[in-house]
Amino acid sequence: MTENEVKRVVTRLMGKDVLSYRLREDGFLVVINRQGWKVTFSPTEVEKALQSRRRRPGANHD
């Protein structure tokens, strides 16, 4: 996954209120927001967010 894809996934999952993030080697994404909350997303959640970002609006997804 490219750095731009990771940034898009972070924005999709947490919005723009993010101070820091790290995609771990095991696929877990760790995000810290401006309030200091540390949130960990599973590889499944990361993949779902990535796939939803790749879909084009108006495309037929049957």
Count Cβ atoms within 10 A of the Cβ of residue 60 and give its class: 0-12 exposed, 13-18 middle, 19 or more buried. exposed
Whether residue 52 is predicted with pLDDT greater than 60 in this model: the reply is: yes
What is the C-alpha separation between 5 and 53, in angstroms, rounded? Answer: 9
For the whole model, what pTM was predicted?
0.80
Whether residue 2 is predicted with pLDDT greater than 70 in this model: the reply is: yes
Find where tokens 């590889």 sit.
Answer: 43
Q: Could you tell me how many helices (H) and strands (E) the chain has, helices first? A: 2, 3
Residue 61 has what pLDDT?
47
Residue 1 has what pLDDT?
86
Whether residue 49 is predicted with pLDDT greater than 80 in this model: the reply is: yes
What does the domain layout of the chain look like in residue ranges? 15-54
